[in-house]
Amino acid sequence: MFGKNTTEANYKTQTLHGGTVGNVQLITGIAKTSDGENLPYKIVLKTQKKWERMGDPNSWRREYDLYTSDFESLFSCDLRWAKYYHAEINGDETQTRLWIEYIDGVSGKNLTLEMFEKAAFELGRFQGRLYKEQPDILKNISCFGEADALKRYYMICREKMMKRVDSVNCEIPDHLIKLLKDKDNKAEKIFFDMEKLPVVLCHRDFWFTNIFYSNGEIILIDWDTTGWGYIGEDAAQLIFDETDVDDTEEYYRKIFPAYFKGFSEYIDISKFNLSCIWEMIVLKYGEVYIWQMLSESPDERNQAVKGLQKIYEMQNIKL
């Protein structure tokens, strides 16, 4: 971290967040160098256990694989990931440990809409540049998820989802039920149209808890779901993934233009039919809201119906 020999370091730990497979600790202390300096430090230790995500069995170790590759060289001064200092994988390859940069910036629900726009713009520009330049580094990295991940997930879940639609339809207006069923009937055609869009390197966990704004930079964390996908997938996630339903329409109107503006610095997107992105949103986030309808909380169920209505109204907004 300091580029100096250290003779000792005291430390204390604080849990930042954890989940099914990840444990993230903030480690702080004073490091004493061989030339007598006492340097305060903050560093993050992320421990990841082996597990299997549906359709993406190696995602648990993807950050380790990316951090130990040349992937970092693809970033710019405006968008990057957290720097890493050291990486380990245990002998039986069931756990990774990453020592990475602690980021002191704005994140989560403290991000403003302007910061969201900045994040969308920079990610669009990053994806556009890689799409145009096709750097050899990307060709040499084999751990990325596949482009049809969204399609495969929907096709696996669609039968259960449509049964849920039928089971909760007394709480959902008829026009929203019709929307979900019509798009499900057209699912194969929607995904066929999406496959005509540019295939880009998606973050695939692009939501406010994984975005930091610091000194004008956008820093993204949690790259374990990174893989090939289609233009617009990440922008849609930023708009809909656990954001306040009341904000989604404004986000839709602001974030997609910012994202496409960044992408268009490298690629003319006017020749692509972007209308299927809204249909993709119906399939992906319609499913999310339908599962939310199973909540015992009336407020959550009402928010799910409101979210479906917002998506319905967005069909007339030109991307």
Backbone angles phi, psi at 57, to 5 degrees: -65, -25
CATH superfamily of 6-101: Phosphorylase Kinase; domain 1 (3.30.200.20)
Cα–Cα nearest to 55, from 125, 122, 152: 152
pLDDT of residue 54: 84
The number of CA neighbours under 13 Å toward the Cβ of 143 is: 18
Size (the chain), residues: 319
Q: What is the mean pLDDT of each run of 10 residues along the chain (319 residues)?
A: 94 80 90 96 95 89 97 96 96 96 95 98 98 95 93 92 83 93 96 96 96 96 96 97 94 98 97 94 95 91 95 93
Residue 14 one-letter amino acid: Q
pLDDT of residue 20: 53
Q: Thinking of the domain 108-314, which architecture would CATH place it in?
A: Alpha-Beta Complex (3.90)
| In the chain, where the domains are located | 6-101, 108-314
> What is the C-alpha to C-alpha distance for residues 206 and 150, in angstroms, rounded to an integer?
14
By the 10 Å C-beta count (0-12 exposed, 13-18 middle, 19+ buried), 92 is classed as: exposed
pLDDT of residue 18: 53
The 10 Å Cβ neighbour count of residue 271 is 6
pLDDT of residue 185: 96
pLDDT of residue 220: 98
In CATH terms, are 6-101 and 108-314 the same topology?
no
pTM given for the model: 0.94
> What is the C-alpha to C-alpha distance for residues 43 and 37, in angstroms, rounded to an integer?
18
pLDDT of residue 170: 75
